[in-house]
Amino acid sequence: MTQLYQHSACELAQQIQQRQVRSIEAVAACFQQIERHNHQLKAVITPCREQAELAAKQADAMLERGETVGVLHGVPFTVKDLTPTAGVRTSFGSRIYQDFVPQQDELCVARLRAAGAILIGKTNTPEFGMGAHCSNFLYGPTANPYDPERSSGGSSGGAAVAVATGMGYLAQGTDIGGSCRTPASFCGVVGLRPAAGRIPRRRKPLLWDYLDTDGILVRSVEDAALMLSVMAGEDWRDPVSIGSSDWPMPSFALLPEAVEEHLGSLRIGFSPDLGVAMVDAEVVAVFRQAMEQIGSLCPQIQETHPDCTTAQFAFETMRAATLLHKQKHHYENYRNLLSDSVCWNIERGIGLSAADLLQAEADRDRLYLNFLRFFQQHDVLITVSASVPPYLHSETEILTINGVALRNIIDYLTITYTISLTGLPAISIPCGWTTSGLPIGIQIIGQPRGEAALLQTAYCLQAALNFRHRWPELKDR
């Protein structure tokens, strides 16, 4: 029998609205999972049980009076500890901010709360979101629920583990180079990086920056669409924000023949490596098996990809310059408190010239135009979601793949950061398992601002091929 913590967010929202389940029961179910497994997995760095229980009681009382707040009325969610939450500690995974309590929510959090969702805790992250492991001096490492000796992925690993194990129904994450998609692949859940500007941010050191975006980690494509519908929407305080009128909520009540028709007409391009990424051989094997399954339903499928050769210099240069600008104060004043990984990332920006940055911008322009040409002939592009399977905690950085040395400690993210550069929407969904029982995901990339079509395609693959989350077998602590 399905336990309450195993219900989808869509199911729970409907059950609460129909008064079949009380919000206080849903909150209790999440905290029961936290009590059972968080000691081992270390997904939730700051629980806020007292506030959540109070909010749940208020939500239930409102329903008793015939009142509702929004589509997420009474649904528990978590927020990554990089994202400010009013009245709840936000450490950014750093000793510098270990006691910091913001006075205001980030906009996406405020929108989730305004829709009735209930914050139950902050999820773990590497310091300032930089690092292969979801670990920091304050907490961690966050363990993979399918093998606690292995990584949950960075940097939204805590968010991915929380939803994978029922510690929450919805999880907010962030994504620069793959920080939602990598943990989604590692933990067998759905990870969405929306189109650039789809989820606006008021709190940005650089208002025109869109490499770093809020993202979503959930257990189903339907839940991703529901969460995005609340978080999205234009806000003029973020000049790159875009409206939500161009993506109506996809239909997820499709009959099997409608799913078959959608997949039959889909024009798919696929590539395990985009011609630029090193990918683990076992990941490639699982990916090709998944593509054979997809090809059995989608006759218009071709192994091809855009020219991505400009991506590495462009991303590394732009990311390094941005991180130096954002973190220079911390580096100059608190260097002794920062991790080696954070220092390495900040130092990459020292010495960059204006010419370097402008060349990176020009390279990104060429990359984007290459993708536009690709999408004239294809509806979606499919790649792996992570270049490696979940790795042991003892591997402090990913330095080799298939026995070949990588150029640096972020090179293993090439498969995802290439897509980040374009600003295109991308979603990771589970697609298979390694021989040792570790989850692997595929990354589906959509057309510009094409979340509606992207989510519809991901849903059809989820429905037709059972590309979905499976509950890990965990022992109580």
Catalytic residue (one of 155, 220, 339, 385): 155
**Quick check: is 80 catalytic?**
yes
pLDDT digit string, tens, across residues 159-189:
999 999 999 999 999 999 999 999 999 999 9
- Given pLDDT bands bounded at 50, 70 and 90, which one contains residue 477? low
pLDDT digit string, tens, across residues 337-348:
999 999 999 999
pLDDT at 62: 97
pLDDT digit string, tens, across residues 88-130:
999 999 999 999 999 999 999 999 999 999 999 999 999 999 9
pLDDT at 69: 84
pLDDT digit string, tens, across residues 16-63:
999 999 999 999 999 999 999 999 999 999 999 999 999 999 999 999
H, E, C per residue of the chain = CCCHHHCCHHHHHHHHHCCCCCHHHHHHHHHHHHHHHHHHHCCEEEECHHHHHHHHHHHHHHHHCCCCCCCCCCCEEEEECCCCECCECCCCCCHHHCCCCCCCCCHHHHHHHHCCCEEEEEECCCHHHCCCCCCCCCCCCCEECCEEEEECCCCCHHHHHHHHCCCCCEEEEEECCCCCHHHHHHHCCEEEECCCCCCCCCCCCCCCCCCCEEEEEECCHHHHHHHHHHHCCCCCCCCCCCCCCCCCCCCCCCCHHHHHHHHHHCCEEECCCCCCCCCCHHHHHHHHHHHHHHHCCCCCEEECCCCCCCHHHHHHHHHHHHHHHHHHHHHHHHHHHCCHHHHHHHHCCCCCCHHHHHHHHHHHHHHHHHHHHHCCCCCEEEEECCCCCCCECCCCCCCEECCEECCCCCHHHHHHHHHHHHCCCEEEEEEEECCCCCEEEEEEECCCCCHHHHHHHHHHHHHHHCCCCCCCCCCCC
Catalytic residue (one of 23, 42, 80, 241): 80
What percentage of the chain has pLDDT greater than the value 70?
A: 100
- Given pLDDT bands bounded at 50, 70 and 90, which one contains residue 68? confident
Q: Is 250's pLDDT higher than 70?
A: yes
pLDDT digit string, tens, across residues 403-453:
999 999 999 999 999 999 999 999 999 999 999 999 999 999 999 999 999
pLDDT at 248: 77
Q: Is 267's pLDDT higher than 80?
A: yes
**Quick check: is 179 catalytic?**
yes
Catalytic residue (one of 23, 151, 152, 179): 179
| Secondary-structure class of domain 4-465 per CATH | alpha beta
**Quick check: is 475 catalytic?**
no
